[in-house]
Amino acid sequence: MLNTIITSSLSRPEMIYVLAQIREEWQQAVGNRSLVSAETSVGLLLADVVKTVELMNEEQRTILGEKLFLEVATVLDAPNGIDH
């Protein structure tokens, strides 16, 4: 289902670029460690995805759920949503 939603808005090359960009950001965050063995926040990873595909606040809330949306907004100090 997510594949259908995303690919209707982004082309395949755009989606590849977006996901590669997220991976590169996480690789920088963990340094020389492997992404496979890196411990990370699933909530922040999901927030990266919704931020990178530039979803509107209501779409962010739907994907993340109200609780996670508010937690991520607090962590990122972005009370009006996850900044793009």
pLDDT in tens, 49-65: 888 888 888 888 999 99
pLDDT in tens, 16-74: 888 898 899 889 988 888 989 988 888 988 988 888 888 888 888 999 999 999 998 88
User: DSSP label at 10?
Assistant: S
Is 33 in a helix, a strand, or coil?
coil
Q: If we measure between CA atoms, which residue out of 4, 17, 11, 19 comes closest to residue 50?
A: 19
Distance CA 55, CA 63 (A): 10
Residue 7 binned pLDDT confidence (cut-offs 50, 70, 90):
very low
Higher pLDDT, 67 or 77: 67
**What residues does each domain of the chain span?**
2-75
pLDDT, residue 12, reads 81
Rounded to the nearest 5°, which phi and psi values hold at 28?
Answer: -65, -40
Between the CA of residue 45 and those of 23, 25, 48, what are the distances in Å? 10, 10, 5
